[in-house]
Amino acid sequence: MAEKTSPPKSVPQKPALPPAGERIAKVLSRAGVASRREAERMIELGEVSVNGAVITSPALNVTPADKILVRGKAIAEAEPARLWLYYKPEGLVTSASDEKGRETVFDNLPEELPRVMSIGRLDLNSEGLLLLTNDGGLKRRLELPSTGWLRKYRVRVNGNPMDPDLEPLRKGIEVDGERFQPMQVAIDRIQGANAWLTVGLREGKNREIRRAMAAINLTVNRLIRISYGPFRLGEMTAGMVEEVKPRVLREQLGEGGGKDAGDAPARARPTRSLQRDAKMAAERSAAIQAGASEREFIRKPRPTSAARPAAGAKPRPTAPKGGPKRG
């Protein structure tokens, strides 16, 4: 009588390991060849080869051992992430090329700069702080909505709004079926037929400030971005470029770059919540509307270490007015 045999037990399969290396479009972006999207387009056009074979799909991982050519030339080694502050002048398009033949930001950058990409955009008629980087990964991280960095703008509008007129922007407004998040809005000063406002927001929808102002019957005739998270325009003038020092970049973004640094300024200073900022902005606007001088709200600069007396030191005597008396 034949013995019954039990079916062989199935051996659990180990999950397949992910392929070694990184996606080729990411490697090309890190090497400064192009943005990841542009690199994918170059691959599809057959402009990239790996180990002597032309590839037409970006679904490929590569390692440092692979030989990568772009249009027949070897790519450079990946550089450390770098960041620049650029004062974008009005009238430049924030794109690598323009189908209408208009001048772009990249047409006007200093020649000594490496290939860079913009972090976010400023529209044609806006000016001010634009961040530039040579690193595609850093660009993507800082553009993510989850980063939540506050962007501040000086905005000149045609009209003399009162503080209550701006309340819809502080609460969040819907324009053409699109919901905008609450904004910080303060009236800085009235100047003839115009008013200067300071506006802060944490998202970057297309022409958001201009559309929101139009919804409350105000026309923007000048818009300047003055800060992006911890980075500020400061005393820069149109067309200027300044590189952020590596140490500052590490402090603000972390070793890997692009980590959420909240709204901590580049020069350490206690942070304030969005609600407190909005409350202070509203109080300031109301006071200015009531006739208070704008100078009352300007923080006086702290004395430098050279000018500040040491603890316990006696004050130095000052010379009498009019200079020393002659005998």
Per-residue pLDDT tens digits for 227-283: 999 999 999 999 999 999 999 998 887 644 443 333 333 433 333 334 444 455 455
Q: Which amino acid is at 184?
A: Q
Identify the domain containing residue 44 by its residue range: 22-74
Q: Which residues are catalytic?
A: 123
What contacts 24+ positions apart, CB below 8 Å, involve 56-61?
A: 58/23, 58/24, 58/25, 59/23, 60/23, 60/24, 61/19, 61/20, 61/21, 61/22, 61/23, 61/24
Q: pLDDT: is 45 or 280 the higher one?
A: 45
Cα–Cα distance list, 80 to 134, 135, 136, 250 (Å)? 8, 8, 11, 11
Q: Has residue 3 been placed in a domain?
A: no
Q: Are 96 and 62 found together in one domain?
A: no
- pLDDT above 70 coverage of the chain, percent: 72
pLDDT at 41 over 50: yes
Q: Are 242 and 125 found together in one domain?
A: yes
**Which of 156, 281, 154 lies closest to 226, judged by CA?**
154
Q: Which residues contact 61 (CB under 8 A, 6 or more apart)?
A: 19, 20, 21, 22, 23, 24
Q: Are 30 and 66 found together in one domain?
A: yes
Looking at residue 136, what is its pLDDT?
81
Rounded Cα–Cα distance for residues 277 and 281 (Å): 6
Q: Are 165 and 66 found together in one domain?
A: no
Q: Has residue 37 been placed in a domain?
A: yes
Q: Are 245 and 126 found together in one domain?
A: yes
Q: Has residue 237 been placed in a domain?
A: yes
Q: Are 187 and 218 found together in one domain?
A: yes
CATH number at residue 50: 3.10.290.10
Rounded Cα–Cα distance for residues 173 and 218 (Å): 14
- pLDDT above 90 coverage of the chain, percent: 50
Rounded Cα–Cα distance for residues 36 and 58 (Å): 10
Q: Are 150 and 41 found together in one domain?
A: no
Q: Are 41 and 88 found together in one domain?
A: no
Q: Are 124 and 222 found together in one domain?
A: yes
Per-residue pLDDT tens digits for 154-213: 999 999 999 999 999 999 999 999 999 999 999 999 999 999 999 999 887 889 999 999
Rounded Cα–Cα distance for residues 27 and 312 (Å): 59
Q: Are 56 and 147 found together in one domain?
A: no
Q: Which amino acid is at 95?
A: S
Q: Are 137 and 247 found together in one domain?
A: yes
Per-residue pLDDT tens digits for 85-112: 999 999 999 988 888 889 999 999 999 8
- What is the chain's Cα-based Rg? 28
**Last residue in a domain, options 41, 74, 107:** 74
The listed range with the strongest mean pLDDT (70-79, 124-133, 266-275) is: 124-133
The two tokens of residue 293 are: 């001088």
Cα–Cα distance list, 147 to 94, 130, 248, 259 (Å)? 21, 17, 18, 7
Rounded Cα–Cα distance for residues 242 and 233 (Å): 10
pLDDT at 320 over 90: no
Q: Are 27 and 166 found together in one domain?
A: no
Rounded Cα–Cα distance for residues 151 and 147 (Å): 12
**Which of 244, 293, 283, 282 lies closest to 135, judged by CA?**
244
CA 70 to chain centre: 30
Q: Which of 29-33, 218-222, 318-322 has the lowest mean pLDDT?
A: 318-322
Q: Rounded mean pLDDT of 122-143?
A: 91
Partners of 83 in the β-ladder = 133
**Last residue in a domain, options 203, 222, 253:** 253
Beta strand residue intervals within the chain, DSSP E: 22-23, 48-50, 53-55, 61-62, 68-70, 73-74, 83-88, 117-119, 127-133, 151-158, 174-175, 178-179, 184-191, 194-201, 219-228, 231-232, 241-243
**Last residue in a domain, options 48, 74, 100:** 74
Q: Has residue 8 been placed in a domain?
A: no
Looking at residue 80, what is its pLDDT?
85
Q: Has residue 10 been placed in a domain?
A: no
Q: Which residues contact 310 (CB under 8 A, 6 or more apart)?
A: none
Burial 112-139 (b: 16+ CB within 10 A, else e): eeeebbbbbbbeeebbbbbbbbbbbbbb
Looking at residue 286, what is its pLDDT?
56
pLDDT at 301 over 60: no
Domain count within the chain: 2
Q: Is the pTM higher than 0.85?
A: no
CATH number at residue 131: 3.30.2350.10
Q: Has residue 125 been placed in a domain?
A: yes
